[in-house]
Structure 1
Amino acid sequence: MLDLFFIGFIGLVLLAGLKRPFLWVLLYIYIDILAPQKIGWSLVTVIPVSLIAFVAAFGGWLALDEKEGSRFTMRQALLAILLVYCGVSTLFAVFPEAAEAKWSWVWKALLFALFLPLTLRTRLRLEAVALTMVLTLGAIVISGGIKTLGGGGGYGMLHLFVNDNTGLYEGSILSCAAIASIPVAVWLMRHGTIFPPDWRVRIFGAGLIFSSLLIPIGTQARTGLLCIGVLGVLMLRSVRYRTLYVAAAGLAFLAAVPFLPQSYVDRMGTITKHEGDESASTRIAVWGWTLDYVKEHPLGGGFDVYRANSFTYFTQVVTGPADNREVTYQEVTDRARAFHSSYFEMLGEQGWPGLILWVWIQLLGVWQMEKIRWRMARSDAGKKSWQWGLATALQQGQIVYLVGSAFVGIAYQPFIFMLVGLQCGLWSYVQRTEAPAARGKRHALRDEKARLSEDHRPAWQK
């Protein structure tokens, strides 16, 4: 029955796309985030629904969709360069089979991020993409939030729609993405036109945000706690009553602490004491190995080069009762451990050129969203505009991702690259709609000054 639902829904959207081809873009976003082919049991697992939606999205834009207003931005060019660079590095990867397996989905994430802004010509389309991303991720998040409230959480134990600890269904990755999506959800609650803001939208949005905050607790992901803290600080820039916001956040934290599971509190305590946690100690060792590796291989070793690592480190072991603890150090030898950091993932796999390209793409997004904020904030109406709000939300979400990705290997996570594509689309839209108006005002002011100057010139100079 579940398979029939997915096949029927996907089929209906494919048919509707014959009249509105942009729906195929939204369909691919839905499939790529939710992964119904992993949720189903039979038919949907056999049919290549992701590939069908991917081809339909590109083919529909090329053959049926209008191209007026589409622009190719600098960040899209950087994405294209990174795409080619990763493809070339795959040909010379240290582990060819593993590299090809990762390349099979990385190229689609990069190519779709490059392509998506070309389709985002209107406010409605920008909002539709944001809404599809938030609601599709929300399906996973709400499920996880309900299970967390029911006591079904735990590190590596919060089973969602699938029994698969990869992609967005991995605890740390889901925690980072869930918190990064909160600002976009808030924007949709305030400026949405597809679902105009009313009490129903606000109640659902509040529930979705609450579920997103529960995900780091249910997964016991330390990354999620850091992301919540970063988002809380970032929102100080955009809230109207900062003192009230800080007070409310403090009270909410104090009220939540007594209800937190002890296992969650104990795990969060290892953030500042990595020596006593084997997982954290492993990350430090892997990062050190990566730095040593790129000294000899500055261009990196291709996808999944972490399989070549091997190292020995010491971890703290605490034994005995609370009033008489004994601390000893245990030697641990490990090998083929993942990077556990997007920055070291890029550095180890693509070397210094790949890391520089990736960081450039990310920081350019932060700067472009800030520039939109500056432009729209020139007037009181601009600060209340949907463009200012969306730029703020996308910037906050990206910064949360950049902090969270320091501890999770999600450098190529498709959800985040969709956010990058949405940023490129907003940047292009604002450049196309706001810049000409600004130039027109400047030209009109210049002509007016010239006319006044002409009127006051002596007759013999005219």
Structure 2
Amino acid sequence: MRDLVIVAIVIAAALMALKRPWIGVMLWTWLSIMNPHRYSWGFAYDAPLAAVAAGSTLLGFFFTKDKESPFKGAPVGWFVALTIWITLSWLMGYDVDGDYAQWNKVMKIYFMTFVALALLHNKHHTMAFVWVSTMSLALLGAKGGVFTVLSGGAHKVWGPTGSFIADNNHFALALIMAVPLLHFLQLQLESKWARNLMSVIMLLCVAAALGSHSRGALLAIAAMGAVLWWRSRRKGLMTLALLFVVMVMLPMMPQEWWDRMGTIQTYEEDQSAMGRINGWLVAIEVAKHNLFGGGMSYQHQLFFTLYGVYNENVIAAHSIYFQILGNHGFIGLFIYIGLWFSTYLWAGRLRKISRDIAEARWVGDLGAMIQVSLVGFAVGGAFLSMPYFDLPYNMMVMVVLAHRWVLSRGWEREPPGTLLQYAGLWRNKRNPLPASTSA
């Protein structure tokens, strides 16, 4: 039954994408982040659903007139440079054939990011993109949060099998990045019960992140929580939420969790932490001796045999910075950091350019919360290897789209009706919308 529901949704959305290709972007985003098919047990589990989403989106893209140039700002320039450099790094890397699968996986994400930049341009598009990107994680986080509460945090919470966030640590960081975006959506809701429900989902996502038993996630929660309180328009609500986490959630966690978190201060005695440091030192040496780095992965026995300090065991970088450094060299790391620094600055600019525009208040909220998410990503990512995960790139798209919308006074030509009406999912008989001109 679950397989049929998932496939039916994909087929329906893919057909809609032929006329409204922006819906195909939403379908791709849902499948790429949430991986709903990985929660089925039948034919949908390995079905090429993402290929269906991409194919229908591209077919609609070629026929629609409702598209723009994807090159819309400085963050996109950094993104183009990163795409080119990663490809050069792969071609000049240690194992071109062995790294092809990873390069192909990353390039699919990057390609669809460019497609999103071309097809999305109005407020409906941007809000839909935020809703799909965020709720794809929030639903999993709510499920994991309930599991953590019911089990008292005794068992780890994991992400969808076979995805970028399958690992408990990666899943936790993804949820932490989603929390500020959930708060952004909460600020846009008018219904009190809907806002309260969003608060519950946010707390459950934090509970799930704690339930991952990830030390990097704990540091990210602390950093994200502090900046979230500072950036929020509802500091009273945020204060209550933070107090709930500190006074209710943390005491709920078992002694095993506290023992693991305690190793943050005694990393010299923790073999896992020392192994990570060894992996970081290897990444530095690989970058020193290879302009383009090791390729799509520097986790090769040769490198660890040559450059390992504490041992020669091959280990993941457990850091977005050292993973990029080892994979793509110092130039690659410079471009990667430049991308996120530029995105952060542009997100801050959203708050300034929308400050005195009533129709663009949502843009300021979005910029502030994306900055909070990026802080969580920057801190948590220092200890976790997920440099190619979709959500940060989606946030870059959101920032660029919102920036262009304000500068072009998008509210003056915004399509009428609600988002559901615009998508063709709801028809108001009293005030029908004009036919779509997207194709």
Alignment TM class, shorter chain as reference: 0.7 to 0.9
Q: Which of 1 and 2 has greater Rg?
A: 1
- 1:214 partnered with 2:200: no
In structure 2, list runs of 5 or more residues that go unmatched. Answer: 413-439
- 1:74 partnered with 2:54: no
Please name the residue that 1:26 is paired with. 26
Residue correspondence of structure 1 range 175-186 to structure 2 within 5 A: 175-186=172-183
- Aligned-partner Cα distance in 2 for 1:380–1:427: 13
- Aligned-partner Cα distance in 1 for 2:267–2:224: 23
Residue correspondence of structure 1 range 54-93 to structure 2 within 5 A: 54-67=54-67, 72-93=72-93
Please name the residue that 2:407 is paired with. 431
Residue correspondence of structure 1 range 238-257 to structure 2 within 5 A: 238-240=231-233, 246=239, 249-250=242-243, 252-257=245-250
Please name the residue that 1:300 is paired with. 293
How many Å apart are 1:100 and its aligned residue?
A: 0.9
TM-score, normalised via structure 2 length: 0.86
Residue correspondence of structure 1 range 155-170 to structure 2 within 5 A: 157-159=156-158, 162=161, 164=162, 166-170=163-167
Q: CA RMSD in A?
A: 2.5
Please name the residue that 1:319 is paired with. none
8 A Cα contact 1:122 1:429, kept in partner: yes
**SS of residue paired to 2:143:** helix
- 1:266 partnered with 2:259: yes
- 1:17 partnered with 2:10: no
Which one of 388, 408, 413 corresponds to residue 412 of structure 1?
A: 388
How many Å apart are 1:348 and its aligned residue?
A: 0.8
Identity of aligned residues (%): 22
Residue correspondence of structure 1 range 378-417 to structure 2 within 5 A: 379=356, 381=358, 385-417=361-393
TM-score, normalised via structure 1 length: 0.82
8 A Cα contact 1:71 1:428, kept in partner: no
In structure 2, what residue type is equivalent to 1:430? V
8 A Cα contact 1:95 1:305, kept in partner: no
8 A Cα contact 2:27 2:53, kept in partner: yes
In structure 1, what residue type is equivalent to 2:5? F
Query: Are the structure 2 counterparts of residues 236 and 205 from structure 1 closer, same or farther at C-alpha, using a change threshold of 3 Å?
Result: closer
8 A Cα contact 2:319 2:381, kept in partner: yes
How many Å apart are 1:140 and its aligned residue?
A: 1.5
How many Å apart are 1:369 and its aligned residue?
A: 1.1
Residue correspondence of structure 1 range 98-109 to structure 2 within 5 A: 98-109=98-109
Residue correspondence of structure 1 range 449-460 to structure 2 within 5 A: none
In structure 1, what residue type is equivalent to 2:135? L
In structure 1, list runs of 5 or more residues that go unmatched. Answer: 314-332, 437-462
| Pairs aligned (count) | 408
What are the Cα deviations for residues 126-150 of structure 1, in whole angstroms up to 9, with x where unaligned? Answer: 1000000111112211221121112
8 A Cα contact 1:342 1:411, kept in partner: yes
In structure 2, what residue type is equivalent to 1:178? L
Query: Are the structure 2 counterparts of residues 68 and 93 from structure 1 closer, same or farther at C-alpha, using a change threshold of 3 Å?
Result: closer
- Aligned-partner Cα distance in 2 for 1:46–1:239: 41
**67-76 vs 1-10, greater mean Cα deviation:** 67-76
How many Å apart are 1:360 and its aligned residue?
A: 0.8
Please name the residue that 2:133 is paired with. 133
- Aligned-partner Cα distance in 2 for 1:345–1:97: 19
- Aligned-partner Cα distance in 2 for 1:145–1:257: 13
Please name the residue that 2:121 is paired with. 121
- 1:360 partnered with 2:338: yes
In structure 1, what residue type is equivalent to 2:125? R
What are the Cα deviations for residues 302-352 of structure 1, in whole angstroms up to 9, with x where unaligned? Answer: 011122324353xxxxxxxxxxxxxxxxxxx34211111111111111111
- Aligned-partner Cα distance in 1 for 2:406–2:366: 11
**1-10 vs 197-206, greater mean Cα deviation:** 197-206
- Aligned-partner Cα distance in 2 for 1:72–1:248: 37
8 A Cα contact 1:339 1:409, kept in partner: yes
**SS of residue paired to 2:20:** coil
- 1:309 partnered with 2:309: no
**SS of residue paired to 1:158:** coil
Query: Are the structure 2 counterparts of residues 65 and 393 from structure 1 closer, same or farther at C-alpha, using a change threshold of 3 Å?
Result: farther
What are the Cα deviations for residues 255-301 of structure 1, in whole angstroms up to 9, with x where unaligned? Answer: 43332211111111111111122211111111112212222223211
- Aligned-partner Cα distance in 1 for 2:312–2:150: 36
- 1:369 partnered with 2:364: no
- 1:190 partnered with 2:187: yes
- Aligned-partner Cα distance in 1 for 2:201–2:212: 17
Moved over 6 A (4+): none
8 A Cα contact 2:154 2:254, kept in partner: no
In structure 2, what residue type is equivalent to 1:419? M
How many Å apart are 1:367 and its aligned residue?
A: 0.7
Please name the residue that 1:284 is paired with. 277
How many Å apart are 1:251 and its aligned residue?
A: 6.2
How many Å apart are 1:250 and its aligned residue?
A: 4.3
- Aligned-partner Cα distance in 1 for 2:399–2:237: 30
- Aligned-partner Cα distance in 1 for 2:186–2:411: 27
Query: Are the structure 2 counterparts of residues 427 and 62 from structure 1 closer, same or farther at C-alpha, using a change threshold of 3 Å?
Result: farther
- Aligned-partner Cα distance in 2 for 1:411–1:200: 36
8 A Cα contact 1:116 1:422, kept in partner: no
8 A Cα contact 2:88 2:292, kept in partner: no
Please name the residue that 2:8 is paired with. 8
How many Å apart are 1:434 and its aligned residue?
A: 7.6
How many Å apart are 1:357 and its aligned residue?
A: 0.9
- Aligned-partner Cα distance in 2 for 1:409–1:247: 32
- Aligned-partner Cα distance in 1 for 2:46–2:229: 48
- Aligned-partner Cα distance in 1 for 2:236–2:6: 47
How many Å apart are 1:405 and its aligned residue?
A: 0.9
